[in-house]
Amino acid sequence: MLIHHVPSIISSLLPQLIWNKDRQERKVYLTFDDGPVPGVTDYVLEMLDKRKMKATFFMVGDNIRKNPMLAKEVLTCGHKVGNHTYHHLNGFQTKEAVYLQDIEKCQETIGEHLGVFTDLFRPPYGRMTRNQHKKVNSTHQVIMWDVLSGDFDLNQPAEKCLQKTIKYTKNGSIVVFHDQVKTKGILKRVLNPYLDFVSDNGFETGLL
């Protein structure tokens, strides 16, 4: 079952993870996972630029290697990047040493192609073990979310994706979309009206 909003009981049990930002500020934090991917990431950049909004892109290292100019464009447009592993690994299914090496390889790829350092990390699928987190948390902020659009669920109508994402957005929300091939169709139906909602309801967009 797709959970669009992380229950407060879960975030309270795992306070070492970052689930949201300041609830007193009229800001939302837009995030995009899995890119950069041609035809999707550039569309996202266009929609954000149209409204002068900012976002954080959690990039897969191998996609940076394949699309370095598109990855650079994200930074040129004033957005931030985060580490999302090199091969989009599920921490629950990956040995600790392999997982940490994959994160480091992504980190090196970001440095090589983008010339920046990031201290932001998001585990693919939101899954990592306690020991993996302990190691990663020594060098990175581990960013989760409190609003999951579910744009990757092809069984969910785009209208429901939009409705649920709007419903749970509030001050300080970290909202997840995906700039990847699988989500392209839904994202192009949902992102534009969602960004209009953000703007029309007086939210600023913040960088993590």
Catalytic residues: 33, 178
- pLDDT given at position 173: 98
pLDDT at residue number 49: 98
186 Cβ contact partners less than 8 Å away, ≥ 6 residues apart: 151, 154, 156, 158, 161
Indicate yes or no: pTM above 0.75: yes
Helix axes 96-114, 68-76, angle to 10 degrees: 70
**Which domains are delineated in the chain?**
18-205 (3.20.20.370)
Which ranges of the chain have pLDDT less than 50?
A: none
